[in-house]
Amino acid sequence: MRVAIAGAGQVGRSIASELLDNGHEVLLIDKDPRAIKAESVPRAEWLLADACELSSLEEAALQRCQVAIASTGDDKVNLVVSLLAKTEFGVPRTVARVNHPRNEWMFNEAWGVDVSVSTPRIMSALVEEAVSVGDLVRLFTFRQGDANLVELTLPEDSPMIGRRVGDIDWPLDTALVVILREGRVLRPEPDGTLELNDELLFVAADETEEQLEDMLSPHHHRRNSNRNKNDNS
């Protein structure tokens, strides 16, 4: 997969190194000569250019990329890069970094953003994930398609423990993506079974999250629902 990254600061270079280690082709774009540190990511391609300029993205042959990542420290730049990548070059997947939480509402499909990455949101989700068993935690929002990456760790009273994955009738617009078990990453094979404390990652539509939580952890779900009702009364 070929990936273009606008912004060759520490964040952009770290992403590039990770992608290169996973066997992808990476092009780093930055207009600041001081950011061009080829020795730090020697296997990447580099382009000294303004990623907000259409001519720069043409030089980068962005139409050949499957993913464009806008990782600069400027939200305006990240929005412009995402919009140009999507509308002018038809890049299938755009990922944009949100630097200031107050700007998060703009990072949507109208600006060509498929996935927005907000550090405060991710950190809060990880805190919730660390303390919750049996509660559905939304880790990520995919702007295109109104779907979310959600996580649930199976509690001891889950009716799904011991069930074959292939026998479970998941809600509509829901896909089990991966099972994390004792440090291992498991593909959800039909013959595999769910076990206590399995961490399940799903891509699910907004409207199916409550149904999914009720399937996997009905007691926790009812307890939380009652608590929310009491809080609202």
CATH of the domain spanning 132-232, picked from 3.40.50.300, 3.40.50.1100, 3.90.550.10, 3.30.70.1450:
3.30.70.1450
Task: Say how far apart CA 25 and CA 16 lie, in whole Å.
Answer: 9
In the prediction, which pLDDT does 167 show?
96
Asked, colleague to colleague, whether 2-117 and 132-232 share their fold, the answer is no
> How distant is the alpha carbon of residue 160 from its chain centre?
26
Give, in order, the Cα–Cα distances in Å from 55 to each of 61, 77, 89, 128, 154: 10, 15, 12, 44, 51
| pLDDT tens string 66-79 | 999 999 999 999 99
The predicted structure's pLDDT at residue 225: 53
How far apart are the C-alpha atoms of 55 and 85, rounded to whole Å?
12
What does each C-alpha distance from 31 to 47, 53, 77, 83, 168 come to in angstroms?
A: 8, 10, 12, 18, 51
- pLDDT at 24 > cutoff 80: yes
**Residue-range domain boundaries for the chain:** 2-117, 132-232
Q: What's the whole-model pTM score?
A: 0.60
Q: What is the identity of the amino acid at 151? A: E
**Region 2-117: CATH code:** 3.40.50.720
Q: Are 81 and 70 within 8 A, CB to CB?
A: yes
Beta-bridge mates of residue 116: 96
